[in-house]
Amino acid sequence: MLADLLRKGELTVSIYGLGYVGLALASAWVRAGAKVIGVDIDAIKVERLNSGVVDYLEADVVETLSVAVKTGRFSATTDGVVASIRSHVKIVAVPVFLKKSPTAVEVDFSALASAAKAIGAGLKRGDLVIVESSVPPGTTEEVVKPVLEGVSSLVVEEDFYLAYSPERIMVGHALKDIEENYPKVVAGVGPKSAQEAAELYKAVAKRGVIVLRNVKEAEFEKLLEGVYRDVNIALANEMAKLANAMGVSFRAVRDAANSQPYSHVHKPGSGVGGNCIPVYPYFLMWVAAKYGVDLPLTRLARQINERQPEEVAFAVLRAMLKHGVNPSTAKIAILGLAFRGDVDDTRESPTYGIVSTLLRFGIRPDQIVVHDHLVKQDQQLTRWGVALLHDLETAIKDADVVVVSTDHSAYRLEASKIISYMKTPIVIDARGVVKPDVDIYSIDLGRWP
């Protein structure tokens, strides 16, 4: 078995896609004793990795891969075929995208198919391919398997193995999630594939392995995690809106409700970002349509969360008008561009929705500044002509309105400290992180304008 090669220190694993997930996976397999080849289409990233430069927020990932480069245990390449030839196990962590139009949503499998073609061209008897990308249920068998068999002329379960194991990480503690925090969910296209994958992952996941009956179940499981959170956040956003209208603290109500063990109400916020939770509902709705099944709750929750950045922008205007601030001259500082706290990932960030709505209202780009100390640059803000600042004091100085859109630890400040730099003391905390030692507008404290 391939697990025997790992125990002997003779296993080579190739990781396709060196983003947030791929680099964490590479670290985990290096630490488990494998030699790892990383594959990515970004030649600059590959060059930097091979020179020992690891751009990642987690120190354990940076340290593991930096040392592994020096010792020859990790290397990166843009050639997926060569990586496949030189490895026993191929793990796919490339993204599957959505193509949205006003009338339809389609799934883009091009990156996944491209990786599968490269793997197939170097696939050998006895190799194992594992898909870790989040995908619509059925993708491994209907998209990946035909490509692998067609390109390689090999037959799954007879000549090679194919499994699905969803990544279950959160950037910031991704490596710990893989190794310690959660069991690994695994399924194979057949019993041999499931056994090979499960035995390997037992060497990585200290919490053990959950083997599901088929890959569709494993693909579905990953999406269910995200949709549960999306629906729960939509509920929180809706209930917070009612609480604010009633003049009661949703934070107090939520804390009391969650003291009951069967209540797990999430926090409201400025919206839902990232490349996971906003995408998974569409994957499931896309699959459901093929089966003639309607998912009205899933769809409505997504609509509520997609409207939330507009709700925040409306709150900014209402607060300015209430306090006699002229919207045509006001300085608006938005704190946070990353979609969640203490990461530099801006994908699907609610801040974009807040900024675009304010611009649509007629606020000029030079009236808006966005602060994020972790995001170095941003093409979308540049296109809009909106400044991205890295110094917090500069961002909030002489501001008429401060909007907290991301729950960075850097924003866990006393409201009075923020206000001391401002021209007009209007703080709109959409993430519930500011310490309200003076009155502020907050989505969860009952003073939402």
Segment 356-403, tens digit of pLDDT: 999 999 999 999 999 999 999 999 999 999 999 999 999 999 999 999
Residue 147, φ and ψ in degrees, nearest 5: -65, -45
Comparing CA positions, the residue from 391, 407, 263 lying closest to residue 337 is 407
* pLDDT of the residue at 104: 82
Terminal Cα distance for the chain, rounded = 62
**For the chain, domain boundaries:** 2-211, 308-442
CB atoms within 10 A of CB 422: 18
Give, in words, the CATH class of 2-211. alpha beta
CB atoms within 10 A of CB 214: 17
For the chain, which residues score pLDDT lower than 50?
A: none
Q: From CA 373, how far away is CA 371, in angstroms rounded?
A: 7
Q: From CA 349, how far away is CA 347, in angstroms rounded?
A: 5
Residue 435, φ and ψ in degrees, nearest 5: -80, 110
Catalytic residue (one of 222, 241, 397, 423): 222
Catalytic residue (one of 99, 276, 376, 397): 276
* pLDDT of the residue at 362: 97
With a CB cutoff of 8 Å and minimum separation 6, the contacts of 187 are: 163, 164, 165, 194, 211, 212, 213, 214, 215, 217, 218
Q: From CA 280, how far away is CA 277, in angstroms rounded?
A: 6
- Do 117 and 151 touch, CB atoms closer than 8 A? yes
99 is an active site residue:
no
Q: What is the DSSP letter of 186?
A: E
SS3 content of the chain, % helix, strand, coil (to 5): 45, 15, 40
- Do 234 and 305 touch, CB atoms closer than 8 A? yes
How big is the CA angle at 50 (ends 49 and 51), to the nearest 5 degrees? Answer: 90
> Per the confidence metrics, is the pTM higher than 0.85?
yes
* pLDDT of the residue at 449: 79
Domains 2-211 and 308-442 share a fold: yes
Segment 317-328, tens digit of pLDDT: 999 999 999 999
290 is an active site residue:
no
Classify domain 308-442 at the CATH superfamily level.
Answer: NAD(P)-binding Rossmann-like Domain (3.40.50.720)
